[in-house]
Structure 1
């Protein structure tokens, strides 16, 4: 079977923690008297290694409605706890993690310039108990972009409510406060318009008709991004230039939700030449679905590789349809719906984080943004005390640190990740029972 190991171009060999934990966890199921097999690592990357990792490979995404809790603002003060945790990663990799403020609540959010607080969110437990589905943000929401020195951001605009039903201001109202906040100190990375548009036409709460397809999405997205850029040209003209106005797309929730991920490029989504990264989301499975276990779902490299395989197929297809556009996983975690107790919030999830991220790196994924949210069970940390959880780091954060430590300072050396064959083990994250098929 194959496990990912980081290889640094300056002839420094690093045995990443994933190779180590494979042996440690396998020990739980080793027959007594069996002797561990030694490994010799070749420091040269080899032709089968992944491409050189870009800076900020280890990055984060924050649920839009939770972003002020994680970041703070001028009223509450900066959240120094969160900032320190981000700096810990940045000190290892050479770049502070890139930050996305978006997610499902991005497409519920409306802007009220008279709102005296950063955000008002109303949770409807019957619809979604983990985050609000009625979200209003005020001017102080955008102060959160000033609280983490050196961070760079992707801000998400609401596409779901931009089709004329609700009026232009749900899309365009936040443009001025967002661009004014992000136009300072090189904070702006990219913009995002719409979240998980591949499920807009599905389910009980669909926001588009059943026949809405890729061509409809592209036409609507181009119209929306052009209107955002025009409004930005009035408020922040320096950010509306060809050099600065850059976007993520298509921000799909997955590869099999009904809309094809390659078709938008065939239908002209990059007609304006401003899509700089393919943005896709990934979860291993969902909270409450049948058969979810820590051992079988997360601590099983065979399962992890199989779940990621459709994304790798899409990325290869997009290499032809969108040449030169990196493929990034911009919202990632273990189990959607905020994670599952005793699966997403235990140290086994940290081991999965390490294995998953290095497998992405070995297979050409440009960057991974681990999703965070207030009170989310899969979160790497809880930014403040609430009635549901105390402030503090969670087990997944140590997986993030392990990934950062495995790849090292990406600004000082070219780092590529290669999968190594380990004949004596069955699973890279190691199922303690030894079940699971070896990878070819």
Structure 2
């Protein structure tokens, strides 16, 4: 394991000051009471068995990484299994291999002129991965893009048997708002140019009735929409329900989110609270409010999310998508979505994605062989899990700090403040050749005797996972996904007169627990 590299500036950086006045009771801008399963995960279907292994040979590294979140919160981890690849799956229960690129002849109800974006055939061995992970619930995507209902029914039947009590819902399709857009490389669309929300709703109502009838499912058992990062009018929840989307079949609605794109600025797009708020509000605020007003019994889920989409070069941008800065964005963004009213977020996993919390196996990515490894965003997820914790009736509120780079959030349990998260989003790199800036944050109004301070840190904002630590611990492939102590875990600071001062460096996050 690589030792942590600590930045030692030649000069002492001058500290700025910031003050947060802590509301002792839950403020008006706080979230509703949150489910402790708020932090979920999502797996691209093509990569599923890489993450799980099989019942007889589980991927120990990956299984332990999944279990990290249950070990911290004690709550079930919800996993959305799907994506563009899953949407084009064909299921062959007689195929011996878990997954192949061999395609059968198109069925009569499939469009013969369409070449599949993801030509994978799935065998029963692929479904065995659904039995590997403990303490999870599955939102399992139905392959809609193929337009093969009979095969989808068969796939759902056998997947439901494999999931057993871990089944949560069937998701209907993936990003249907892009079905009439040109597909990758092929230049052939999944649906005609005229395809819109009414067409999706017609398919949704027909397919959910057929699947529910064949599998003897009653009540709302389906996740609808799964709209892309680019969803815009006329694609919305309101349009879908106005078109007659079967409410009695709908358990949740889902949309996707990626804030940046490979090659863009880390400071400008991710380590930028104003940008995070602006984009998230524009993307979700009205849609979530519509659901709460018109269909309050159907939660809104951000079912696939990550820091950034890739680019056409195929070379992952690890600085943007897998650094300490990515982890800090992960904290800021997830906690902010709590205040918007989302039910859950599912952070995306994929073997070839730099933004994935971890890479489960050795794989060639961007022309380079890369080992199984933890990636930077994992540490942001762990931080969020620690803030959620095990206490009941969690509400989260954003606190103003008076400093443009320092973002604060408070966690209230049963109406009482229990934790404060501080994130300094100022990007600092060792290459700047200047002392690392820091801020002394004064918190006032605390009803506690001491606070325990735990730190998410690394030598600079672009540090990769081998140099990042949370509360003095790292999780690595070498440790098979179990935490290893690499430094000091926490510090206890006395509260005097309801006030405490803490020092936070640029490109760092602190979690304060009231004692």
Could you tell me the TM-score, scaled by structure 2's length? 0.69
Within 1, Cα distance between the matches of 2:84 and 2:66?
23
Q: Does 1:358 align with 2:335?
A: yes
Kindly indicate which of the two structures has a greater share of residues assigned to strand.
2
The residue matched to 2:326 in structure 1 has which SS?
helix
Deviation at residue 214 of structure 1 after TM alignment = 1.2
Residue by residue over 1:220-256, the C-alpha shift from the partner in whole angstroms, topping out at 9 and shown as x without a partner, is: 11111111122213xxxxxx122xx511111101363
Alignment of 1:120-139 (within 5 A): 120-121=100-101, 133-139=118-124
Residues 97 and 151 in structure 1, CA contact (< 8 A), matched pair in contact too: yes
Within 2, Cα distance between the matches of 1:160 and 1:266?
23
Residues 173 and 226 in structure 2, CA contact (< 8 A), matched pair in contact too: yes
The residue matched to 2:90 in structure 1 has which SS?
strand
Residue by residue over 1:276-303, the C-alpha shift from the partner in whole angstroms, topping out at 9 and shown as x without a partner, is: 2121111113335xxx111111111111
Within 2, Cα distance between the matches of 1:121 and 1:259?
35
Of 225, 237, 241, the match for 1:265 = 241
Task: Quote the residue 2:85 is aligned against.
Answer: 105
Alignment of 1:32-431 (within 5 A): 33-74=14-55, 77-121=57-101, 133-162=118-147, 167-183=148-164, 186-203=165-182, 204-233=187-216, 240-242=217-219, 246-254=221-229, 256-261=231-236, 262-271=238-247, 273-287=248-262, 292-310=264-282, 311-337=284-310, 340-387=317-364, 388-409=369-390, 412-426=391-405, 428=407, 430-431=425-426
Kindly indicate which of the two structures has a greater share of residues assigned to helix.
1
Within 2, Cα distance between the matches of 1:348 and 1:119?
35
Deviation at residue 134 of structure 1 after TM alignment = 1.2
Within 1, Cα distance between the matches of 2:294 and 2:181?
26
CA RMSD in angstroms, aligned pairs only = 2.4
Task: Flag the 1:176–1:305 CA change in 2: closer, same or farther, 3 A.
Answer: same
Q: Which has the larger displacement, 382-391 or 133-142?
A: 382-391
The residue matched to 1:174 in structure 2 has which SS?
helix
Q: Does 1:432 align with 2:427?
A: yes
Within 2, Cα distance between the matches of 1:33 and 1:348?
22
Deviation at residue 361 of structure 1 after TM alignment = 0.9
Deviation at residue 392 of structure 1 after TM alignment = 2.0
The residue matched to 1:325 in structure 2 has which SS?
coil
Deviation at residue 218 of structure 1 after TM alignment = 0.4
Task: Flag the 1:49–1:373 CA change in 2: closer, same or farther, 3 A.
Answer: same
Residue by residue over 1:347-402, the C-alpha shift from the partner in whole angstroms, topping out at 9 and shown as x without a partner, is: 11011101100011122111110000012111101111224321121111111001
Residue by residue over 1:201-234, the C-alpha shift from the partner in whole angstroms, topping out at 9 and shown as x without a partner, is: 122332111221211110111111111122213x
Within 2, Cα distance between the matches of 1:86 and 1:110?
27
Within 2, Cα distance between the matches of 1:293 and 1:389?
24
Q: Which has the larger radius of gyration?
A: 2
Residues 375 and 389 in structure 1, CA contact (< 8 A), matched pair in contact too: no
Residues 350 and 395 in structure 1, CA contact (< 8 A), matched pair in contact too: yes
Residues 119 and 136 in structure 1, CA contact (< 8 A), matched pair in contact too: yes
Deviation at residue 101 of structure 1 after TM alignment = 0.7
Residue by residue over 1:297-323, the C-alpha shift from the partner in whole angstroms, topping out at 9 and shown as x without a partner, is: 111111111110121121112222322
Q: Which has the larger displacement, 204-213 or 340-349?
A: 204-213
For structure 1, which runs of at least 5 residues remain unmatched after alignment? 1-27, 123-130, 234-239, 435-440
Task: Quote the residue 1:19 is aligned against.
Answer: none
Within 1, Cα distance between the matches of 2:13 and 2:362?
46
Q: Which has the larger displacement, 140-149 or 257-266?
A: 257-266
Could you tell me the TM-score, scaled by structure 1's length? 0.80
The residue matched to 1:178 in structure 2 has which SS?
helix
Within 2, Cα distance between the matches of 1:374 and 1:85?
14
Deviation at residue 257 of structure 1 after TM alignment = 4.2
The residue matched to 1:54 in structure 2 has which SS?
coil
The residue matched to 1:47 in structure 2 has which SS?
coil
Residues 328 and 365 in structure 1, CA contact (< 8 A), matched pair in contact too: yes
Residues 302 and 427 in structure 1, CA contact (< 8 A), matched pair in contact too: no
Residues 18 and 401 in structure 2, CA contact (< 8 A), matched pair in contact too: no
For structure 2, which runs of at least 5 residues remain unmatched after alignment? 1-8, 103-115, 408-423, 429-436, 438-515
